[in-house]
């Protein structure tokens, strides 16, 4: 009855449906029963017609309450969460207190920071790429500084984003997106999205590992990298629209203090890596640089949600699309272009979804190796 609020795209995953809404760029996961009611509602012209349709499948005593619930659901799905700046902050050269240069492939990147604390939001993950060379001109220049309670990111003195200082992670994600456009010679509009997850390759295919903070995602990827796998991307995994491949993100792997003991004997030079203390929530961190992969992009053939539990058995199970998206979506950036949303859903439908619980490092490496072997058999 209110078709203007209808989802733009929808895909079925077993007992779940994933709906995408163009107006808000929101993804919603609902069960089949609710989807049936929603379809009846969207394809009815009057309340009486809707009432007749649902009475054929369910005994509903209060149709108006059902309609109100559906209206509320659709309005929330169509509500945009994007915030707008009241005013665009002006660029200030006077904030250039710290200068760092990084060489990534054949590109030279210069970043200016205003304080040591702001520098810690970006530099530790790129420190292994720092160079002291003084070429004629950088490929790109970034400025990152705080002003009036806002954290501002500029590229070539043009504002990219400005967020409250407490939301520094949003600037980190936006910076990586801009960095990737430079090193892969792409535009931001070329990407389906940047997923909050780490991607590992066996040289043929890749697997995206996701998980909430502290669940062992980065530690597992560091273990795999130490045992012959290629780290394609840590924490931010970009997918290109042209081929739906995950592309290389050159930042180092961020490791929390709780994993130091596990990785120390496996990572050469681990003790020499500096400790970064950014805030009390994250605690002490070390950043492990890894070798460049043989290729800068691979097809992603599976998603695995990681859950480290002390003294647990290693267990690989199927995961629901609801569990996967509830973990993947919140800190990911996904393009709002309809073509990209459709590509994302098509890729998701064709991709096996798993969850793994582990504590034994040897066993989990064997299990992940078996997953990769299975992907090669299937493709």
Boundary residue ending a domain (43, 78, 113): 78
The set of residues, in sequence order, having a beta carbon less than 8 Å from that of 75 and lying 6+ positions away, is 5
Distance of CA 135 to the CA centre of its chain: 34
Which pLDDT tens digit goes with each residue over 215-240?
889 999 999 999 999 999 999 999 99
Residues 175 and 34 placed together within one structural domain of the fold: no
DSSP H or E stretch at residue 74 = helix 63-78
Residues 8 and 99 placed together within one structural domain of the fold: no
Q: Is the dihedral of CA 133, 139, 145, 151 positive or negative?
A: negative
Residues 108 and 240 placed together within one structural domain of the fold: no
Residues 211 and 355 placed together within one structural domain of the fold: yes
pLDDT for 295 beyond 80: yes
Residues 179 and 204 placed together within one structural domain of the fold: no
Average pLDDT, the chain: 91
pLDDT for 379 beyond 50: no
Distance of alpha carbon 230 from alpha carbon 221, whole angstroms: 9
Number of domains in the chain: 3
Residues 227 and 254 placed together within one structural domain of the fold: yes
Distance of alpha carbon 373 from alpha carbon 379, whole angstroms: 10
Q: Is the pTM of this model over 0.85?
A: yes
Distance of CA 80 to the CA centre of its chain: 19
pLDDT for 86 beyond 70: no
Residues 64 and 142 placed together within one structural domain of the fold: no
Give the 3-state secondary structure of 9-52. EEEEECCEEEEEECCCCEEEEEEHHHHHHHHHHHCCCCHHHHHH
The residue range of the domain holding 162 is 93-183
Q: Is residue 85 part of a domain?
A: no
pLDDT for 106 beyond 90: no
Mean pLDDT along residues 246-270: 93
CB 66 within 8 A of CB 79: no
Which pLDDT tens digit goes with each residue over 296-317?
999 999 999 999 999 999 999 9
Residues 196 and 336 placed together within one structural domain of the fold: yes
pLDDT for 58 beyond 90: no
Q: What is the CATH number of the domain that holds 125?
A: 3.30.413
DSSP 293: P
Residues 147 and 64 placed together within one structural domain of the fold: no
DSSP 3-state assignment of 7?
A: coil
Residues 69 and 101 placed together within one structural domain of the fold: no
Q: Is residue 86 part of a domain?
A: no
DSSP 287: E
List the helix and strand counts (H, then E) for the chain: 11, 21
Q: From residue 297, how far is each of 44, 186, 201, 202 by CA, in Å?
A: 46, 13, 9, 12
What confidence score (pLDDT) does residue 375 get? 84
Which pLDDT tens digit goes with each residue over 128-155?
999 986 656 777 999 999 999 999 999 9
Residues 145 and 239 placed together within one structural domain of the fold: no
Q: Is residue 245 part of a domain?
A: yes
């Amino acid at each position: 009855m209110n078709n203007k609020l209808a989802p733009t795209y929808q895909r079925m995953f077993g007992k779940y449906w994933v709906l995408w809404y163009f107006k808000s760029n929101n993804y919603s996961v609902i069960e089949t029963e609710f989807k049936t009611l929603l379809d009846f509602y969207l394809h009815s012209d009057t309340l009486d017609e809707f009432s007749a349709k649902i009475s054929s499948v369910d005994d509903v005593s209060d149709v108006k309450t059902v309609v109100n619930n559906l209206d509320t659901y659709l309005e929330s799905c169509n509500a945009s969460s994007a915030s707008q700046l009241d005013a665009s902050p002006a660029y200030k050269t006077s904030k250039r207190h710290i200068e760092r240069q990084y060489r990534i492939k054949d590109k030279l990147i210069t970043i200016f920071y205003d304080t040591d604390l702001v520098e810690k939001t970006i530099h530790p993950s790129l420190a292994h790429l720092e160079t002291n060379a003084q070429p004629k001109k950088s490929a790109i220049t970034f400025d990152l500084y705080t002003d009036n309670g806002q954290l501002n990111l500029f590229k070539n003195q043009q504002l990219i984003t400005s967020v409250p200082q407490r939301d520094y992670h949003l600037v980190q994600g936006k910076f990586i997106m801009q960095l990737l456009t430079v090193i892969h010679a792409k535009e931001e509009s070329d990407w389906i999205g940047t997923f909050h997850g780490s991607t590992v390759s066996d040289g043929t295919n890749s697997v995206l590992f996701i998980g909430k903070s502290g669940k062992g995602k980065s530690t597992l990827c560091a273990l795999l990298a130490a045992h012959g796998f290629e780290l394609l991307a840590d924490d931010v995994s970009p997918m290109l629209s042209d081929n739906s491949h995950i592309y290389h993100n050159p930042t180092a792997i961020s490791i929390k203090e709780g994993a130091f003991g596990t990785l120390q004997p496996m990572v050469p030079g681990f003790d020499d890596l500096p400790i970064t203390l950014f805030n009390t929530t994250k605690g002490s961190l070390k950043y492990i640089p890894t070798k460049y992969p043989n290729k800068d992009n691979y097809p992603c053939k599976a998603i695995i949600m990681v859950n480290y539990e002390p003294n647990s058995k290693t267990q690989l199970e199927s995961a629901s699309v609801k569990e996967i998206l509830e973990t993947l979506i919140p800190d990911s950036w996904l393009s709002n272009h309809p073509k990209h949303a459709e590509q994302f859903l098509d890729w998701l439908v064709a991709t096996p979804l798993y969850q793994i619980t582990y504590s034994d490092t040897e066993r989990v490496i064997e299990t992940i190796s078996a997953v990769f072997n299975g992907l090669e058999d299937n493709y």
